[in-house]
Chains A and B, each alone.
Chain A
Amino acid sequence: MSEREGAQRERGATTAVRPEGRGLDSREERGMTDLVLYTLYLADDALVLAQRLGEWAARAPELEEDVALANIGLDLLGQARPLLAYAGEVEGAGRGEDDLAYLREERDFRNCLLVEQPNGDFAATVVRQLYFSTYQLGLYRALAGSADPTLAAVAAKAAKEVDYHRDHAAGWTVRLGDGTAESHGRMQRAVEALWPYTGELFEADDVLRRLVAAGIAVDPAELRVDWDREVGAVLAEATLDRPEPGWQHTGGRRGVHTEQLGYLLAELQYLHRLHPGARW
C-alpha cells in the first residue's frame, strides 16, 4: 500500500466516510469475480446514462425531445435493473439491485467516463448519445451470442431498443451539424470535447480478457472498426470534422471517475440514503 493510499484509508476510518467492509480494498472479500465486475460495467453504463437523460425532463428544447430523452433513459434504466440484480445474485452477498444502485460509493461504480459527463447543451447530449449508442448497439448485438444466458437475454432485448436510440442521435447529429452556423458550431465543439472519452470504450483489461476467452464478454477492440466507420459516416453526413486521434481519458472501469460522477450519485442516492428501504 502506498503512503497516499494509507493516508486515504486512515482518513476514511477516522471520519467514518467509508464504513467497515466497503470500499476498494474489500473487493475480493465481497466476491467481486470477473463476471460480477463485467456485469457492473454494463449495468453502470446504463444506470448512469439513464440518470443523466432524466435530468432533461421538462428542460429539453421541445416537448417531443423531453419525451424522447426520458424514453431513452427509461430503456436504459430497464436494462440496468436486471443487470444489477444479476450482479448481486452472482456475487452471492445478499445485495439486490437497490443495494447496488443506491448504496455503492463512487469508487465502486464501473461505468465508462463518457456516460457521466454532464448534459451540457443539447448538442453535447446528442453527441454523447451518438458516441455511446453506436458503441452500445455493437456491444449488445455481439453480447446476444454470449455463453452467459442472462447477459445474452438482456443484450438481445436491449439491442432492439438501442437501435432506436442510435437513429435518434444520428438524425439530430445531421440536422444540427448540417444546420445553422450556430448549431454547427455547437455540434463541432461537442464532437471535439467528448472525443477523448471514446477511447476508453474499446480498452480491454484483465477482467475482459479472461471473460472474452470464456466466450462470455465481447472483445471491445472488435467493436472499434464498426464504431469508427459508423460514427465517421454520420459526422461526414453532418458536415462535422472528425477529431484526430489523440490523448484519451481512462479509469472508469477501475472506479476512477471524473468529478462529475459524485454529484450525479448524490442526487441519485440521496432519497434512498435518507429513507433507507423507502418504497413507492
Chain B
Amino acid sequence: MSAEPAAVVEAVRQLVGRVPDPELPMLTIADLGVLRAVSVDPDGHVEVTITPTYSGCPAMDAIRADVEAVLADRGYSDVTVRTALAPAWTTDWITEAGRRALAEHGIAPPGAAAARPAHRGPVPIRLGRPEPVRCPRCGSPDTREVSRFGSTACQALRACNACAEPFAHVKAL
C-alpha cells in the first residue's frame, strides 16, 4: 500500500464512520459513538471495533454487515469487525453534530449521563420528576414522559405540554 499507514487508517475511519445507524439513520456510527477504533495492519488487514449502545441492541448485526459492505466496495476484503463491551457506551459519546441531527429530526437529544451515577453502593430510587427535556419542535421545557421505553432501546416517549407535539427522547445512559 503506497499511502502512509496513518493516512490509510484515517481514510478507513472516515469511510466506516459514515455508515448510518440502522435505527437512527440521521446519525452515523461515528456521531453515535458506536465506532470505537480502527486499525490497519501493514499487510492490509483492517480491524474495526464497535460497541453496542444497549446490551440487547439488535442493530449490531446490521452495523457489522454495513461496515463490511462499505469496506468491500473500496477493495478492503480482509476485515474483522470486533465488538467491545468495555468501556460501556454512554450517551455522552454522541457528538455535537449528532445531537443537532437528532433535534433537527424531532428527537430530543440526551442530557448528561453523569446525572445517573454508576458508582458502587446504594442509590436512592428516583420517584420524582426527571430533569426537564425540551420539546424539539417548540423548545418548551414543559414536556412530560409518556413512557420511559420507546421504539428503540435507547429512546423514551414524551409529549410537549405547550404545543402538544409527541416526540422521542434519547435517554441519558
Contacts and interface: CB of A to CB of B under 8 A. Distances in A.
Is chain B a partner of chain A in the same complex?
yes
Interface of A: 64-65, 67-68, 71-72, 74-79, 81-82, 137-138, 141-142, 144-145, 149, 152-154, 156-161, 163-164, 166-168, 170-171, 174, 226, 229-230, 233-234, 237
Contact of A167 (B85, B87, B148): B148
B85 to A, nearest CB: 4
B144 to A, nearest CB: 13
B116 A78 contact: no
A75 B55 contact: yes
B56 A168 contact: no
B125 A167 contact: yes
Interface size class of B (residues with CB under 8 A): 20 to 34
16 contacts: A64-B149, A67-B157, A78-B56, A81-B55, A82-B55, A138-B122, A156-B86, A156-B87, A156-B88, A157-B85, A157-B89, A159-B118, A170-B127, A174-B127, A229-B122, A233-B125
Nearest to B148: A168
Nearest to B125: A170
Nearest to B156: A164
Contacts of B149: 64, 67-68, 71-72, 164, 168
B153 interface: yes
A78 B127 contact: no
A153 B85 contact: yes
B85 A74 contact: no
Contacts of A144: 118, 120
B118 to A, nearest CB: 6
A226 B85 contact: no
Interface of B: 52, 54-58, 85-90, 116, 118-123, 125-127, 146-151, 153, 157, 171, 173
B84 to A, nearest CB: 8
Given A72-B149, A78-B54, A157-B88, 4 more contacts: A64-B147, A142-B120, A153-B86, A157-B52
Contact of B125 (A145, A154, A234): A234
Contacts of A157: 52, 55, 85-86, 88-89
Contacts of A78: 52, 54-57
Contacts, number: 101
Contacts of A237: 127
Q: A-side binding surface: helix, strand, loop or mixed? A: helix
B148 A75 contact: no
A77 B157 CA distance: 22
A153 B88 CA distance: 7
A77 B52 CA distance: 13
A74 B56 contact: yes
A145 B121 CA distance: 12
Contacts of B148: 68, 164, 167-168, 171
A104 to B, nearest CB: 21
A278 B59 CA distance: 20
Which of B52, B58, B89, B153 has the largest count of A CB atoms less than 10 A from its CB?
Answer: B153
Which of A138, A156, A157, A159 has the largest count of B CB atoms less than 10 A from its CB?
Answer: A157
Nearest to B58: A74
Contacts of B153: 71, 74-75
Contacts of A168: 148-149
10 tightest Cβ-Cβ pairs between the two chains A and B: A78-B56, A78-B55, A64-B147, A153-B86, A68-B149, A157-B88, A74-B56, A71-B149, A153-B85, A226-B122
A268 to B, nearest CB: 16
A141 B88 contact: no
Given A64-B147, A156-B88, A167 B126 contact: yes
A261 B58 CA distance: 26
A160 B151 contact: no
A116 B91 CA distance: 33
